Structure formats: structure tokens, C-alpha cells
Structure 1
């Protein structure tokens, strides 16, 4: 086959994959994507991302990806630092901690080797309690559980870190003021249904599988709490990270009314030293195949190229910058390495 004919065939194959012409300097790799517990949103979205990479990039470019369950954002920082994973889904809050060497990551210092790839979806706070404990129907009811057993996430997870920050805004030290029952989303929901805990908090993209199952099984025996405007401000604690979010009526079984809560961003992080071409192709594959992701998990319905860099707490990887600039996204200085 002559050079021109071979080039034509390669271009046609690339077009079939939905990626256009591929840069020549890509390196074959099989990446690990760290997610969180299987009952939340991180894991199924991670599986969707990994599947997309395998389908679109592995056949022609040798770039594969596999999603693994983990304890969540806090552990994912460590997994990327120690090269046990090359990509990780994280809460915006943990990206902030990693970038500043603060909070639960203070002892580890600033994580110089972490970069952002893209915003994924909003992490919606779900505070759910036993309906027998409902008085106001808002966060005052959760505050009233001080001293009792609650499930706020696995140790070192983004879930427990998020809950520590939010409840810290209300004046609580969760490790001192509550009896913590550690576990992922599924076990936490089961613990509430079985009366082992009085309340849980499961921050994730809606709908959360474990919460759907909880409401289907427990009915009006559990209540999803609202936040007042004042409580939203208190929960954010001046970070400008959490914003108001409405969980629409009917999102969960038996949920007849909308619930007002808050949400923070989730994003895809990677290592700074990964090849630029590989990260470029992965970023491009994501945004040229959003329908593929959205067909797998509805949390990705919030994704769009217009919101790709909104609220990212870490500088962008050069490969992601290259793609975004190609499609006309203006990159602020704070997101440049």
C-alpha cells in the first residue's frame, strides 16, 4: 500500500472512532482510574470513562483505562502520588486541599504532581435521617443528632472530608461530636434503614443509587433534609465552593417535593508527567462522545464543553489545555501550570 493510500485508511479509521486525526506522538499505556465506593456515583461514572477510553482509543492508539473502587478522594490523592493510579475522580474540596496542602492533606504538603483534566458533575449533598427524628425538616434536625451514631463515609474518603467541612461550619467536630459508623454509601444506607444509625450523608451526583434503594425500601421512614439559605452559607464556610442545588421532586421514590440543598464540583485529576498527547486524546474523546457517557450514567448529563473548566481547583494538564484552546475555551492564568 502506498503512503497516500495508507494515510487515507488511517484517517478514515480515526474518523470512524469519532476522534479525527490522531497526533503521532501518543504512547501506548494502560491507565488506572481511581473512583470511590461502588454504591455512589464516582464508580459508575469512572467505569463509563474507562469504557469510553477503551472503545475509542485502545484499538487504534493502545491507550486503555480500567476503573477501580477506592475509599474516595482522599485516598485517590495518595494513589496518584504513589503511581498506583494515573487518573482519579475527586471532590473539588479535596482538589483544593491538595493544591494548598491544607485540611486533612496538611501533613502531606502541596501536591505538585496533580493536574485537572475536566469538570465532571456536581456533588450534591444528601443529608438523610430517620423520619422519627424530624422536627424542622432542615439541617437543624441533623445538628440535633450530636452524640448519636451517624454514617458520614469511609475513613480518608472524600465523603467524610466533605461532611467534616460542612458540619464544621455548624460548629461540630465530627470525630468528637458524633459516633461515626464508617462505610460506603450502600452500607450507610442499610445502617439507617436497620436503625443502626440515626442519620447519613452521601454527597454524590443525582440520582444516588444507594439513596434510591433506601427510599424504595424504607419509604416515609426516612427523610431527605433541606437547607435554608442561611444554612447553605454556614455550610460553605466562606470557601465559595458549595452552591445551592435543587433535588427535584420525583428524583427518589416517594419524594413528593423538591429539596433544597448544596453541591460542589467533582473533577477528573491526573498526574502532571503523563504524556501530553495521551491526555489530549482522552480529553478530546470525552467531549466528542458525551452521548456515550450520558447513556451510561445521568450524572454526566451536566457535562458540557462550556462548563469543562468551571471551578477546577488544580492547574490543567497541558494536554487538556491544548484541546480546550482548540475548541475556543479561554484558559485563565490560575489554571495554567
Structure 2
């Protein structure tokens, strides 16, 4: 898999599996992440499982909207959470989904990071019978762009706008549903296309090729250097990504697919004890072989990618581990 980083400047409770015995009175830390099947969920649970081996036991509350999880984390209501780099600036400036949240700017300064990772790519998926074989085919069609809350829908619509000039509600109908409803709507023919952030090789995407054929639309070569596209690639937590089309059975786009990549990080807040975060961070990296065995995309998690897309300071506990282990730590991430 070739990843190119273009620098520009339902709710279920799942306890993380314990890999070591702990005393009954051991503290349980709270954690929030996305729904099962999402790469963000996979990574967070892998982190929680490894942290348990270091004596840090995290109860994982899955199926959460990450915009809310980050706010809860910044307020100190959640100890560990999946973090979205593109949301950090919005929270700090009280913009977009945080515009009406009075304390958003104030609490944003409490956000701390542990490690970053490449989560996957935006997959514009359409079934073979939809009539959509290129981006221009979206005109007049119904497209699922993401959930009602969060940043994914805005990003999907921006991607379509840059490539085609199409506006949602004018040139095509943008539908906002939960992730699970989006998958079902495409499978049932209720929508014509779905734009879904997912890990490369996602089983949820692959399932469309098990009973038929589908297309993942590639960003056209002549759009890659477009100024607006470069700006999209350069947003926090974004980048250009390329992967082979035949990674999916039944996928019709031939050759290499160019996509909008997305990156995330595991977050915590300044109030969590330094020793707790140190032990969780140490256990994760010392158990990296187990992490790599969890999912194909997690093999991209290495010491060299530890700070990918991270745009808030490291927690002192994480920083202590990285200094001891000899990681190359960006100066801007030192608290």
C-alpha cells in the first residue's frame, strides 16, 4: 500500500479484554470510540487490550460520535477516547459543531495525545447497477455522505464539490444517516452511492463484492494537483492515499485508486495520572506484534508513524515513554 502525505501546513458497552489478572479493586478507566467495524474502533480496542497488559483497564463504550467524545474527554468526563485531528481547531475556536458549546474553547486546552495512526481512506462506493461509473454520474442521484453529526459528511461533500462542482441539495441529493443505515441503504438500493471512510481492505466494503459488483471511484489524476484538492489533502488529519483496486473482490475500478486518506489519534486529557498513561503507552508499543495481528491496516502502525497527524500536545506520561524508548518526537508535541 502506498501512502502519500501531502503537507500543507445501538450504543454498546464492551469491556476491553484483560490480558493480565488484576485485583478486584483496580481502577477502571473510561474510554469512548466509534462503532464496531470502524477502523477507529479496531485501533482503540487494540490499544485498550494492550493497556490492560500494563495494568490500565479501560472500559470501552463503543458506537459514539467522536465530536462528542472529544468534548467529553476535554471536560475530563472520559479518560481515553478516539480523537479526530480536523476537529481540534473547531473545538479550540468554538466553530462548526462546537459553535453553541459555551466551554468548548476553554476545555480544548485539556486535550492530550498518546499516538496517531493512519485509519484509512474515504471510499466513494456505488453498485454496478446504479448507472454511476464516474464522478459526473452523481448528478441527480442520491448520495449518502455521512452521519448528521460529525465532520465526515462535510468532508465527503467537499470532495464531491472539488471534483465535480456539484452542490448538495442542488445537483444531487445528500443523505445523512448513521453509518450502519448508510450501508443498508446502499445494499437495498435506497441510495445510489455511499461515501464511507474505512480502512483499506474493509470487510464492510468487501461485502458488496460478495454478492455482485461495485465501484470505488478514484480521484481523477488531473484533479490531484488542483489547488482546492491540495488544500483538502492538507487539512489536519487528511492526506492523499493510493491503494490497488483489486484489494476488493468484485471491485470494478481497475489499477490504482487515489483516495482521500484520513488519520486519527488516541487521546486523553491533562487530568489523567502520568503513570497511568505511561504504562498504557508502554504496554501498547511493547505489544506491537499483537496489534499488527489484529487487522491488516494496523500493520501500518510503527514507531515511525507514532505521531502521524497528531496536533495536540502529548500527555506527559506518553512523552516519558517515548523519550525513554528513543522515539523521534516533534518539538511541537512537547507539552
Confirm or deny: 8 A CA contact 1:190 1:214 kept in the other structure. Answer: no
Is 1:185 the counterpart of 2:179? The answer is: yes
| Alignment partners' CA distance in 2, 1:92 and 1:321 | 19
Choose 202-211 or 92-101, whichever is displaced more. 92-101
Choose 38-47 or 268-277, whichever is displaced more. 38-47
Confirm or deny: 8 A CA contact 2:80 2:267 kept in the other structure. Answer: yes
Q: CA deviation at 1:126?
A: 0.5
Tell me the C-alpha RMSD between the 2 structures. 2.8
Higher-strand-fraction structure: 2
Confirm or deny: 8 A CA contact 1:151 1:180 kept in the other structure. Answer: yes
Tell me the equivalent position of 1:21.
Answer: none
Q: Deviations over 1:127-186 (max 9, x none)?
A: 112333334x3xx33xx5355432222222343243245346455664776544333434
Is 1:52 the counterpart of 2:50? The answer is: yes
Choose 266-275 or 28-37, whichever is displaced more. 28-37
Is 1:130 the counterpart of 2:99? The answer is: no
Confirm or deny: 8 A CA contact 1:40 1:209 kept in the other structure. Answer: no
Is 1:331 the counterpart of 2:332? The answer is: no
1:231–1:184 distance in 2 versus 1, CA, 3 Å:
farther
Confirm or deny: 8 A CA contact 1:33 1:87 kept in the other structure. Answer: yes
Confirm or deny: 8 A CA contact 2:118 2:308 kept in the other structure. Answer: no
TM-score normalised by length of structure 1: 0.78
Structure 2 portions without partners, runs of 5+: 1-18
| Alignment partners' CA distance in 2, 1:82 and 1:175 | 36
| Alignment partners' CA distance in 2, 1:79 and 1:161 | 22
Tell me the equivalent position of 1:303.
Answer: 301
| Alignment partners' CA distance in 2, 1:34 and 1:175 | 33
Q: CA deviation at 1:87?
A: 1.5
Higher-helix-fraction structure: 1
Structure with max Cα Rg: 1
| Alignment partners' CA distance in 1, 2:121 and 2:274 | 32
- Give the alignment of 1:1-337 within 5 angstroms: 29-54=27-52, 56-58=53-55, 63-108=56-101, 109-110=104-105, 111-131=108-128, 132-135=130-133, 137=134, 140-141=135-136, 144-146=137-139, 148-167=141-160, 169=162, 174=168, 178-217=172-211, 219-220=212-213, 222-232=214-224, 233=226, 234-237=228-231, 240-241=234-235, 242-255=238-251, 257-337=255-335
TM-score normalised by length of structure 2: 0.79
Q: CA deviation at 1:274?
A: 0.8
Tell me the equivalent position of 2:3.
Answer: none
Which runs of 4 or more aligned residues in structure 1 lie more than 6 Å from their structure 2 counterparts after TM superposition? none
Q: Deviations over 1:235-269 (max 9, x none)?
A: 45356133221222432112363322121211111
Tell me the equivalent position of 1:11.
Answer: none
Find the residue that maps to 2:312 and give its secondary structure: coil
Confirm or deny: 8 A CA contact 1:167 1:235 kept in the other structure. Answer: no
| Alignment partners' CA distance in 2, 1:296 and 1:38 | 14
Structure 1 portions without partners, runs of 5+: 1-16, 19-26
Aligned pairs, number: 301
1:191–1:164 distance in 2 versus 1, CA, 3 Å:
same
Q: CA deviation at 1:216?
A: 1.7
| Alignment partners' CA distance in 2, 1:99 and 1:302 | 30
Confirm or deny: 8 A CA contact 1:315 1:336 kept in the other structure. Answer: yes
